[in-house]
Structures are given as C-alpha cells and as structure tokens.
Structure 1
C-alpha cells in the first residue's frame, strides 16, 4: 500500500543517516541498549582533566602568562636578596657590638682599681726608700740595724708578691734605651759606659697594671761620652 511504502522509505532514510551496523563496522557494544563502562561513568563523556578540542594543558600557564610573571619574580628575588644583605650587615654590626662591649666590660673589671693601684705603688716605693736609707751591710754592724733591714726586705718581698698577683708589676729600665712612653727623664749626664739615649739609672721603676702604664719610671739618661778636652795651642 502507498502508506506502507512511505513508512518503509522513512525507515530506510533514517537508517542511512545513522549508518547501519554493517556499513560502519560496529559491534554489539555500540548498540544503544548496551552502555560501555567509561572512566567517567558516562557514555561519551571526556575523562577528567581533558579538554576536548584543546591541546593546551590547563595546569601549565600559557607562554604569554609565564613571560608576564617574570618581572614580578625578579622583583621578589631582588627584594629577598636586599633583605638578606641587610640581615648580614645587622648581624655583623651586632657581633662587633658584642665584642666591643665585652672588651669594655673586661677593661672596666681590670682597671677599675687603677687609682687605688697608683696609691699602692707609692707605698711600695716608700719601702724601697726606707731600705736605701739604711747603711750598707757591714761586719760588726749593730744587730738592730740588721734586724730592721731584714724586716723591711721581707715586707717588701711580700708586698710586691701581692701586687704581682693582682696584675701590678714593676720594671727597672736601667741599661735599656729611653722610651718616652714608659720613662720620664729627670736628668741627663755624660757617660763613657752608656751610649747616648740609654737609661743610666732609674730613681723609681715603671709600674703597670695588666700591661697598662700606671706610673712612668723616673730615670737619668746618658748623653754619651764626654767631649774630648781641647789641646791648648802651643
């Protein structure tokens, strides 16, 4: 019948548009009634992270975007380097400050008694003067003089030992070159035995406290040999 022919023709046209299983080489898996398992659980859906029709990796920025961020990265790196240099300078300054402070504290501890030490060495010099005022030892001298000398000498040795243990020491510069930093010239005289500028005699020693000068030595300095006497003209 014409109506049936029209229906058959419509089916044939629909089959041509969809493609027959035989002509497309499709298996039973492509049957609309059979849904194949896919990673996404949906028929025909793309896998996560995939963008059909776009080969660009969504995680990797585009080249233009990467180039645009370079100046910002360089700016941050420069700021970081500047902060690092400032930190290093600050650390060096703090270390210098700690060293200087420690040195000042040590000096304050060592030299806090400097004024007292100057007064103490006066007492030591007075003991030396007391010994010098006694007559030289001689046979048959008075026993009282002998005991007095021995007592003063013993006191002087003990006193100098106490000073040494506390960083105070005395130096006799006799026979050494004159040093204006540690010696005070009280007189000059000619000497055949001492070169010019040599200390002939020390009236008092040079006193130091932990190596720092407390009191200079009072000395007599040689002017060298006396000039030769002129021969009178004959």
Structure 2
C-alpha cells in the first residue's frame, strides 16, 4: 500500500509569489515624518522660487540700465564734435575787438550776430543734455580740467584756475571734454639778500 505524503505549507523560500522586497518591506512611514518631509520640500521650492525672482529682477534692472546708457551716450562722439564747434564760435567772438563808442555799425552788427548765434547754439546743446561750465575762478579738478600750465601769482589761491583756453563740457552729467586751463601756484620765495656785516675796526 502506497504511503501518502502530507501536504506542505507554502513559504517564502518555496512560493515564488512572495518576493524579497515583500519579505523585507519597511514599516509604514508615520504621518508626522511624511508631513515634515513635505514641508521641507515646499520650503526648498519656495527658496528656489524667491532666488529665481531676485535673479530675474536683477536682470531686468541691468537691462534697463544698459539700454538707458546706450541711448544716453551713443551720441557721445558726435556731441564732443558739436561742443568743439561751440568752442570755435566762442573763439571767433573773442577775436573781435571790444566795443568802442566810435566803432563802425558793421562791426557792431557782426559782434551781435556772433553772440546771438553762440547763445542759441549753446542753448540748443543744453536742451539735449550738453552743458558748458566756465572754469575760471574755480578750484582745479582733475576730473573736469586739464592743466596746461601753472603760473605764479599772488592774486589767487594756489590751485585756482586763472585762465582757460576752453570750457568744460558735460553730457548728461558725464564728462565730455575737459577744460584746458592755467592754474595758479604760489610764488617761489626769493632768498633774502645778504647784508654786509658792519665790522668795526
């Protein structure tokens, strides 16, 4: 008579439907830990969003500044040439003799015409952001003036501009052409004249 084998219970070792991951499944994550992880993730995304917004605003600011600078100073070379023309008008006006009671009417009209053209030309430049500064009497400033020479004098403090060959020209607050000037300096002290000694015999 044949003996019957008793039925065997399926186990993880013999049942192929039971995987290793199922056998080693971790314990379920607690709600508190899951909430903390989500809050940390939200904070990280918020920080990245704030940084991206700041970078975008900085980019917009730089772009606006670059566009404004390009628009404001693109004509800088042209403005410098026009300022030189204004200086030539001033030099032409300065070459005319000073007004005299007996001067000819033609000379008076010429002087008035030169002066009128120079005034209207400078006014037109000022409306477009190009302004002239008269340097005589002001303190020398290397950012606005170019010293061509120094002159000893007691009529002005050292470092004062006593003569100019051209004016300072600015374009919207930025230096366009420096003034060429002569600057006062203190006279060099003369050595005292030695007096002969009076030696009694």
Give the TM-score category using the shorter length. 0.7 to 0.9
SS in 2 for 1:204: coil
Unaligned runs of 5+ residues in structure 1 are 1-63
Are residues 1:150 and 2:150 paired? no
- The alpha-carbon deviation at position 228 of structure 1 amounts to 4.1
- The alpha-carbon deviation at position 116 of structure 1 amounts to 0.6
Greater Cα radius of gyration, structure 1 or 2: 1
Report the CA distance shift for 1:138/1:100 in structure 2 as closer, same or farther (over 3 A). same
SS in 1 for 2:169: strand
Partner of 2:78: 116
Structure 2 residue aligned with 1:93, among 52, 55, 63? 55
Structure 2 residue aligned with 1:105, among 48, 67, 73? 67
Counterparts of 1:8-157 in structure 2, within 5 Å, are 68-157=30-119
Partner of 1:5: none
What do you get for the CA RMSD once the two structures are aligned?
1.6
How many aligned positions are there?
170
Retained in 2: the 8 A contact 1:197–1:222?
Answer: yes
Are residues 1:214 and 2:182 paired? no
SS in 2 for 1:213: strand
Quote the Cα distance in structure 2 between the aligned partners of 1:71 and 1:108: 56
TM-score, normalization by structure 1: 0.69
Quote the Cα distance in structure 2 between the aligned partners of 1:201 and 1:74: 77
Partner of 1:162: 124
Are residues 1:187 and 2:149 paired? yes
Quote the Cα distance in structure 1 between the aligned partners of 2:79 and 2:90: 17
Quote the Cα distance in structure 1 between the aligned partners of 2:131 and 2:124: 10
SS in 2 for 1:136: coil
Structure whose residues are more often helix by fraction:
1
Partner deviation per Cα, 1:28-68 (whole Å, 9 max, x = no partner):
xxxxxxxxxxxxxxxxxxxxxxxxxxxxxxxxxxxx97x72
Q: Which has the higher contact order (CA 8 A, sep 6+)?
A: 2
Partner of 2:3: none
SS in 1 for 2:30: helix
Quote the Cα distance in structure 1 between the aligned partners of 2:184 and 2:193: 25
Partner of 2:21: none
Unaligned runs of 5+ residues in structure 2 are 1-26, 197-201
